[in-house]
Every structure is written in structure tokens, then in C-alpha cells.
Amino acid sequence: MTIKSARVTAYTAPYDEPITNGLYTYTHTEICVVELETTSGVVGIGWTHGGKIVYEALKQVADVVVGQPLNTERIWKMIYRPKIFGRRGLETRAQSAVDIAVWDAIGKESSRSVHQMLGGFRDSVPAYVAGGYYTKGKGMDALQAEVSGKTKKGARAIKMKIGAVPLAEDFARIDAVKEAVGPGVSVLVDANNAYNRLDALKMARFLETRDIYWFEEPLSPEDNDGAADLVRRTDLPIALGENEYTVTGFRDLIDAKAADVLNADAQILGGITEWQKCVHYADAHHIPVAPHGDQEIHVHLVAAVPNGLIVEYYDNSLNRLKDAMFHQQLEVNADGSITAPTRPGLGFDLNHAALEKFKVEG
């Protein structure tokens, strides 16, 4: 069987309040979806985050694979066209979405989940709940209420944003969060590339005294040497990689000894086919992987491999688009883990009726 047709759609929805991390403020969620229908009638779905640029790239990439069999390596080489689409960037997200849709279709054709097809190392994985953004008028009380609300829903690890305010202010926010969640819950911090080398080291020295699970993206994604220096100088685990692309990018990160944990995101770096290569290269260097990105995809991937550490989990109820997107939702278990669905493929069906009002292209 081959890919008969490709449908590409772009969706967007506003947040109730704009959310800010170390460097950026987001007013909307933007997601581009590709649906690949095969000659046997199966529809594989893939999606990635991004707006107009990703949508246009995705249309081009999706057209290339129509008529092709579901051969992941063959398709990947066909859609990786540096001279045409560029080597690493938003266009790589488009390639990622197509590759993810191919894997979803293969799973549906063979009645196996992606987690099972990729190795099925374990069925459930630890999760951390992402949040702790800066929003307008959000004081310490609101921050504490937010994170304790997450722990009441089962979270055993939570992540907060840092880097948008002076160091001393973030020190106080971190202490407030630690106090709110109590001793049994891990706290992760994420600077989203906000710091220079000096401030990153000052923050790391503080975090070392606070039993923090990891310090994510302290520096620019262009500063592998600085990250490697920080890895050497602090006992705190340094996590990064959500802004890295393809196995060659991850090879360079790993060879530079720039991270203790890799946040390899299959929706960004080139899809599931490329993710496996990054993660196996990491495994050969005894480095664990904890993907950034959507839990509906990454629960399968982290559960599939022996060096999967933990999955990022977003509460979709705070995101109108993600909340409406699928007929199924992934919940956090009572022990803070999430379980890989055993339904064929990724196991998530698009709720087209609910998505209609968020459609902007396609």
C-alpha cells in the first residue's frame, strides 16, 4: 500500500492570558497538522507547533510523499532536502510532522502502537507537569496555588520558568514553588536560553543548594562550549536540546559534552525516525533523554527506549486548541506517571468537529 493523499491544516487559538518564559511571550497556540491517507484507507496523523511558515513548508513536504510506500527511511531521505527546504529550522518541523504521520499510519496498518513498534521497553514512564510561566499580575500566591494544584492532580514533578526577571526575584519564586509542592515533589527549572554565561553560573550555584531536578536551557542554543563549561562546573544536571535538529546536531551536542539530559523533541528535530537515531547515539554515551513537546507523541517514545528518563506533560485544559484536538486525553496516573496508549499508531484521533473553529488554513 502507498500514501494516496495528504491533507495539511493550520489551527490557532488564543491563551486566556499571554504566557511568558525566559525570553518569549506567547499569545496563541499554533499547530499544523498533516493527515496522510493510504490506499488501504488508513489515515496517519502528524503535527507540530508553528504558524504560517511551518504550514507552507508542510504543504510542500507532504506533496513529496504522495504515492510513496510507508518506508520511513526512504521517505525521510526524500524530504530532507537542504538546498530546497533548509537544513535545520522551522522547515525541519514540517519534515517531523510528515515522518510522525508515517509512523502513525504504519501502526494503524499493523495494529500496533508506536511504543510497541519502537521497542516497548516499558509501558508507563514518569512525567513532570510543565507550567510556572510568568503571566500578568501573577504574584507568589498565584504561583504557589498553580503548582500545588498540579500536585493535587497527581504530579510528582513540576517545571517552572525562570530567566525573565532579575536573579534575586527568580530565587524567591523558586523558593516559593519548593515550599508549595513540599519535599516529595521534584522541581525542574527552565530558562529558555535567557542567560549569559555569568548569570547562568550564578543561577546554577543557587539551584545546587535547593535540590533542583534539572536546569534546562540556561544558555543560547548556539553556545555548546558554554553549556559544556557549565556541565563541568556544577553538580546540577543540565538539560537541553529542544532547539537542536537532526542526528548530526545531537551528535555535536553529545560530542561537546554539553548536556547531562537531552530534551530531544521529535516534533522539532526531524520526526520519530530521526529521534531514534539521536536517542541511540545518546544511549551509547550513557545520556538519558527527556523530550520537550507534546505528551501524546513522546509518551510512546520515552517508554520505548531504555534511556528514556521522564516525559513533559502539559495540562491541555489550559490550552483551548490542544484540549479540543483529540477525542482521547492522556491523564497523569496517581503515582505521577503516564501510560503509553496501546491503541494502533499513536492512538489519538483528531476531533475535526471541535477543531473546525480554530482552523486558519487548509
Where on the chain is the footprint of Mg ion (CB under 5 A)? 190
Instruction: State the minimum distance, in angstroms, from the CB of residue 295 to Mg ion.
Output: 14
Instruction: State the minimum distance, in angstroms, from the CB of residue 263 to Mg ion.
Output: 6
Q: Which 8-state DSSP code applies to residue 100?
A: H
* Residue where the block lists cell 510556572: 132
Long-range contacts of residues 218-223, Cβ cutoff 8 Å, at least 24 apart: 218/191, 218/193, 219/193, 219/195, 220/193, 221/193, 223/197
Kindly give the residue spans of alpha helices, DSSP state H, lying in 153-196: 167-181
Name which of 78 and 318 has its Cβ closer to Mg ion: 318
Instruction: State the minimum distance, in angstroms, from the CB of residue 218 to Mg ion.
Output: 11
Name which of 65 and 240 has its Cβ closer to Mg ion: 240
Instruction: State the minimum distance, in angstroms, from the CB of residue 242 to Mg ion.
Output: 5
Q: How far apart are CA 161 and CA 344, in angstroms?
A: 35
Name which of 170 and 190 has its Cβ closer to Mg ion: 190
Q: Which 8-state DSSP code applies to residue 257?
A: T
Instruction: State the minimum distance, in angstroms, from the CB of residue 292 to Mg ion.
Output: 5
Q: How far apart are CA 317 and CA 336, in angstroms?
A: 18
β pairing state of 3-20 and 25-38: antiparallel
Q: Taking each helix axis as running N to C, give the angle between helix 167-181 and helix 197-208, from 0 to 180 degrees, rounded to the nearest 10.
A: 30
Name which of 146 and 190 has its Cβ closer to Mg ion: 190
Instruction: State the minimum distance, in angstroms, from the CB of residue 130 to Mg ion.
Output: 8
Q: How far apart are CA 238 and CA 233, in angstroms?
A: 11
Q: What's the Rg (C-alpha) of the chain?
A: 20
* SS3 state of residue 64: helix
